[in-house]
Amino acid sequence: MAQSSPPGNNGKSRSNFFSKLLHGFTPSIFNGSDCASTYEESRGVGIRIENLCKSFGDNRVLTNISLEIEPGETFSIIGPSGTGKSVLLKHIVKLEAPDSGRILIDGQDIHEKNPKVPRNYRYSMVFQSSALFNSLSVGENVGLWLRENRICTESRIRRIIREKLRLVGLAGKEAMLTSELSGGMKKRVAIARSLAMNPDLILYDEPTAELDPVTSDELARVIMNLKQSVNLTTIIVTHDLNFALYLSDRVAMINKDGIVEVGTPDQIKASTNPIVRNFIYTTTKGIKGED
């Protein structure tokens, strides 16, 4: 996904941006509780992609993409630039509609018009640019969706902010301004903001973009630790093969012709597919298939 600046500081624009693009979740009003009844713990959702195709004019970007992602799984999508990885991510969060094929999340076709059963899962996306508001503090960024949608009482929101920042290794940083943060810290604040809504599905678009190797490793450890403490399904789009192999339960490689191979990190590293072997060698300079 191309980097873009976050929307302006107008309250209505912020609400539309986060509620419609990031989350697509409309809460109910809460009564007699710290939070709305719909704000429950995350549970992870299963995803099935069936024969997905997408073109922009004469440019075919996705060709018969079929994948199945298990509830609670950490699943990475790797491949060369320009092969539709981020476009696929946009389809999963309904920022794009397919030309053909379908995506089912929690058993429901997400692009179905007038569904009989309302969607009952929450999703959030961590953008490549982090998309934080520079005029807001770290804590205000993390609690923005909760406050603008009146999900919880103010005292509960403050507790949630502290807890989510603790999960990403930024305990006590609520008052810092985003202009004071390093690139890696901004990524972690973006993750904390996504976690604040208790998503069942979280998606990362090129999370290590513009990060140095040390900071990328730190971010990988944060996401790995979340796997132990939060029950959700994670999808990562990345060109960083080492990052994907370290974090993922399974990895899918995609190229211009579609899905090349799907497997565990060990299966991908041991693959005899020449396309996979060449990608591994050129991105790590450490593994090369036999001639």
Q: Identify whether 43 is part of a domain.
A: yes
Tell me, what CATH number does 239's domain have? 3.40.50.300
In a domain, 63, yes or no: yes
Residue 250 belongs to a domain: yes
Give the SS3 label for residue 100.
strand
Query: Which DSSP category does 28 fall into?
Result: P
Q: Please check whether residue 6 lies inside any domain of the structure.
A: no
CA pair distance 85, 92, nearest whole angstrom: 11
- Domain annotation covers residue 226: yes
Query: 64 in a domain, yes or no?
Result: yes
pTM of the model: 0.80
* H/E stretch holding 202: strand 201-205
In a domain, 28, yes or no: no
- Domain of 87, in residue numbers: 11-23+36-284
> Which region holds residue 64: left if phi is over 0, alpha if psi is between -120 and 50, else beta?
left
Question: Domain count of the chain?
Answer: 1
Assigned domain for 274 exists: yes
- Dist. CA 257–CA 13, nearest whole Å: 38
Rg over alpha carbons for the chain, rounded to the nearest Å, is 19
- pLDDT tens by residue, the chain, 291 residues: 333 334 444 554 444 444 333 433 334 444 446 877 667 777 889 999 999 999 999 899 999 999 999 999 999 999 888 888 999 999 999 999 999 999 999 888 998 887 777 777 889 888 878 788 888 899 999 998 888 888 888 988 999 999 999 988 899 999 999 888 888 888 889 999 999 888 999 999 988 888 888 888 888 888 888 888 888 899 999 988 889 999 999 999 998 889 999 999 999 999 999 999 988 877 765 444 443
